[in-house]
Structure 1
């Protein structure tokens, strides 16, 4: 590795114009590609004092041995060049997309003499019109089966079409009425092309016109007693309505938009893309992202949009709705408009109304996808084994930590202090071994950690129960089985949520308990650093390592378990205080809880605020306020 920042250029050497920069290592491998409206201003951020940089940014600039830049004429050119270089060099510190899915599309081959509809995963068929992507391949087949009943366009292969054209006999779909028959002359190529155009128009969102038309013709045929034609129109109408039922109406009929829900943590992100055409969700796509540098949601959006419209089969809509607008939103709009090829593209956020509600749905799906992604990595046996081995090597343990215990503390402004203990054995959560702790009083989080671990470690000093095992054939004792309580199993690795202060507090509890066989680490959430006792520098695990994913899962589970218990205690305490007040029954207590959420909020409220709750009059509101005030005074003494 080169000496830290020895390659730093002089400030006067860096231009102030738009451009794209590349960090390279000593082997000339491109580590990171970025763009800037002002190269000098952007690069100066990387060459700030190392202690002020985010840990992963610091690792990137200290790994690099050179930086180079290319000046371009405009911000949009910088965006395009960055996009090209990221694809060409695949830099390890740029965002990594982990989309292992090739989504199925519905494609109409408009370049053919007689266009056909097919299911494909190839997004680059020349002259084809695409719809989707669909989450499952059966969803595409179901849609095509219904659409063919309304618009009987060609579905046969090119070889079948050529053979039918030469013989003059319709192909099999034509024989069973699932194709108009352009191959055998049942319909002309012009009539078939018209049906294809109607097919595309319906799928693109212009659907109500066809439903209205089919309904009108069915009634006219029935009135004329042409029942055979009426039946055909009826079947067509039913097929159209069945397709519409499968596409949920979420927005106004005129809305064409893509919505991107994003959920991310320090290392990973999940993206959920909803394709809305004609106010209906016509396609859904999701993928995961691995992050190397610390990126905000707005910065992630930049990379996500480049990924989403990289050779996409689906056209760019008029609106692209994202959680946060990136700094170069205007340049992205120009770039997307060039891809779309017609009209402007508006990049925006959804603040209220139906679009905001749909965006919330996309975000919920992204959150679930991120949890699933992390759980699958943890659940894989090979991955778990590798994670335990990596942890062993990273922190210098003699053996892999087959039992891991992780602790977290939760409180609300110093009240209702609780802690959690979660257990992972062989890399899997053992929920039957979880424990919760109530802490009557504490000075701070480090004191809480010390108290909890002192109480937990005391159980390891309890004598073990020895029970004899008897041979049923001879009634003789053949072995002595040691029976342990679940709480008495010692961990090989003990994790506390926090940095050096929390680790020192936990170490004091371990020393006082006489346990020298338990490895202790702290996990600082902000930078995902691993702190060891009596070590001035943290251990930094690779961001994609299975070890870090396992430790993250243990830490997040401890946090979830602690805060769930803390909320339960808080609700119980609120209810117990309120039920002591004369005149308050269960219904009124529930209404007050819903309205204020906590006793603390109610203490700050005036009697008039309390009287605003349904079912609480002025006199009862004054009683509640006086009772809570006196209770607060008693607690402060």
Structure 2
């Protein structure tokens, strides 16, 4: 063990004092509390990286180093030992700067209390208890109860509480389940403790996937009963077999019968990550569970996977661990992780990335559930009024504003190699998206993102000043001021100024936005930029960014606003690009100018429909004579291959609205066509639903400016 103490960053170990061996290190604060635990193949190389260039470190790492006052380390012999020690220290000290996965909701388990004299089947949540067999977790408690109700016909195990069990024994009369043969009634001595334990063990074997031997045994008993003309018993056994088969039908068969695997998928953004796991036993999905995590440093997907595997399997029982763990990306020390898991299971565990076939398809399904889980987590977080208020106040404190920015506007620029340059403006009021206020801009300048931001901010606020000066800004109410259009009763396009303007970018973009406001004489609107790489907040004219805590609600809200502006800009850019591609298909038609190309596309809607139209139908378009129509038809129908112009327009990413023309509303509702989350029943039944996008009152107008 070695130690280096000090204050601030003066606690850096002396050069050459750190060994090059693999090991685990701990950072402590001034009170001696462990605030971060890490492992490394080379302790010297890893620890030196913390002190080499402080400004280049991740903001969360910078915060950890400024909090720390001491670092120590322990040398180990192998990478497996390093993983074990790292996990044990994280569990022991619960360091504040280490990644912590937490359940995205409370998941129920089917539990069998094998540690009791008379094992009980029940639904359990929360921490696992010693001596109890667990199956699941599952999405809904009612699904567990349905499965248990079916299985109690064949395995009549006790399900009552300790009080009910004791009371039945005192009065010598079982409960209702004992009378209808869904409990073997050990409380009144109908079966011995050993016979009841054997029933519980058979129940556990069936739930663990060893199903075939029970069905075969019952089928044999049914045939024997029929041969001996015990038809009532044979009918009862037939019903038992059907109950087991119905329980099995609730379990979706997704892989080969011998497959025993956990399928893990990730969905992440710069601040958070969501993890989904499907538990596959004997080729059937037995359960599903999800976690979310706040990122505390800049980590790769492989590192997130490694941290997750250590937390998930750190204390798992050997019988609950699978033979195979399928992951989206291998951890950095994949061999060491596999060896550690094998030691935990007391048998070989393989960690790998599926490349093809059913396992890859299942991984994609789990991945879609992870993305949906992350989206739902963001929605729940954004809908909390207390959290929104806290976020706005944190932004005000970080940017030194006089009051919380109740109206925030964010701008983003989108283009493809300088072509079809567009920009978006999204509005958040009181921390929520105000989609009716969204606007989009066809940018005229071709001089880069900084010039585009300047142009858009200038146009937006020039319009604001024109509208206010035309109606007067000293009137008593919004309608008198001209903020409300008397004809429509709706707010004018740029009637309300924001408290804060956020631009997607760093210092140069923020400076450009501030310059545009200064030139217009607007001095009551704050400006900041949000850079993607390290989520740094930049103020105009500052050489250093404002570093907001990675876990702060204020930074989370700024990120949501920036991401929404980016999505909206991409949607408009794709619609313009697809329209350009459509128009280019008619470029080869002789004598057809821009106006008539537009008229044709507006009339038919697509080049494909125009190609299928007759000459007479083409003549119906204003400005198109018969001779021109014949040229159009012969030119388009003479093509022997499908050109690029015939391809469907590029579809927006998940969460984007559909494409539209420059004068049409841009839709920015929820994602359409995405897979809904997979709901695993008590026995792991899976139903994948496809949800479409419905129009609603919150759809943005998206007017082009």
Aligned to 1:291: 295
Kindly tell me the number of residue pairs found equivalent between the two proteins: 594
> Which residue number in structure 1 is paired with residue 258 of structure 2?
254
- Paired residue for 1:321? 326
1:419 Cα deviation from its structure 2 partner: 0.9
Moved more, 19-28 or 380-389: 19-28
- Conserved? CA contact 2:582–2:606, under 8 Å: no
CA distance in 2, matches of 1:32, 1:191: 51
- Segments of structure 2 that go 5 or more residues without pairing to the other structure are 484-491, 591-600, 612-634, 647-705
Q: Which range moved further: 115-124 or 140-149?
A: 115-124
Whether the aligned pair in 1 keeps the contact of 2:109 and 2:135 (CA below 8 Å) is yes
Q: Does 1:514 align with 2:518?
A: no
For each residue in 1:245-289, what CA deviation from the matched residue of structure 2 results, as whole angstroms up to 9, or x when unmatched? 222111111111111111122221111111111111111111111
Could you tell me the TM-score, scaled by structure 2's length? 0.78
Aligned counterparts of 2:226 and 2:588: Cα–Cα separation in 1: 73
From 573, 576, 586, the equivalent of 2:583 is: 576
Note the C-alpha offset of 1:63.
Answer: 3.2
Structure-2 residue corresponding to 1:406: 410
- 1:419–1:438 Cα contact (<8 Å) kept: yes
**2:273 aligned with 1:274, yes or no?**
no
Q: 1:211 to 1:63 in 2, by over 3 A?
A: same
DSSP-derived class of the 1:65 partner: strand
Q: Secondary structure at the residue paired with 1:411?
A: strand
1:539 to 511, 525, 546: 546
What is the aligned counterpart of 1:336 among 341, 362, 365?
341
C-alpha distance 390-625 of structure 1, shift in aligned 2 (>3 A):
closer
Q: Point out the more displaced range, 172-181 or 279-288.
A: 172-181
SS for the counterpart of 1:288 is strand
TM-score, normalising length from structure 1?
0.86
- Could you tell me how far 1:458 is from its partner in structure 2? 1.5
1:181 matched to 2:185? The reply is: yes
CA contact (8 A) 2:110 2:144 kept: yes
User: Which deviates the most, 161-170 or 70-79?
Assistant: 161-170
Contact 2:113 2:132 in 1 (8 A): yes
Distance 1:123 1:454 in 2: 57
Unaligned runs of 5+ in 1: 468-476, 593-615, 628-637
The separation in 2 between residues aligned to 1:519 and 1:617, in whole angstroms, is: 54
Give the Cα separation in 1 of the matches to 2:581 and 2:166.
78
> Equivalents in 2 of 1:346, 1:478: separation in Å?
69
| Correspondence list, 1:160-309, <5 A | 160-162=164-166, 164=168, 169-214=173-218, 218=222, 226-309=230-313
Q: Per the alignment, in what secondary structure is the counterpart of residue 103 of structure 2?
A: coil
Q: What is the rounded CA distance, in whole Å, between the counterparts of 1:266 and 1:328 in structure 2?
A: 23
Runs of at least 4 residues off by over 6 Å: 477-480, 582-588, 616-619
1:29-48 pair list within 5 angstroms: 29-48=33-52
Could you tell me which residue of structure 1 aligns to residue 32 of structure 2?
28
Query: CA 1:8–1:181 in structure 2 vs 1: closer, same or farther (change >3 Å)?
Result: same
* TM superposition shift of 1:307: 1.9
Residues in 1 aligned to 2:443 and 2:172: alpha-carbon distance in whole angstroms: 87
Q: Deviations over 1:346-401 (max 9, x none)?
A: 11111211111111122211112222222222221111111111111111112211
Q: CA deviation at 1:59?
A: 3.1
Question: Counterpart in 2 of 1:498?
Answer: 505
Q: Which residue of 1 aligns with 2:639?
A: 620
Aligned pair partner of 1:84 in 79, 82, 88: 88
Residues in 2 aligned to 1:142 and 1:623: alpha-carbon distance in whole angstroms? 54
RMSD: 3.2
Give the structure 2 partner of residue 356 of structure 1.
360
Aligned: 1:105 with 2:109: yes
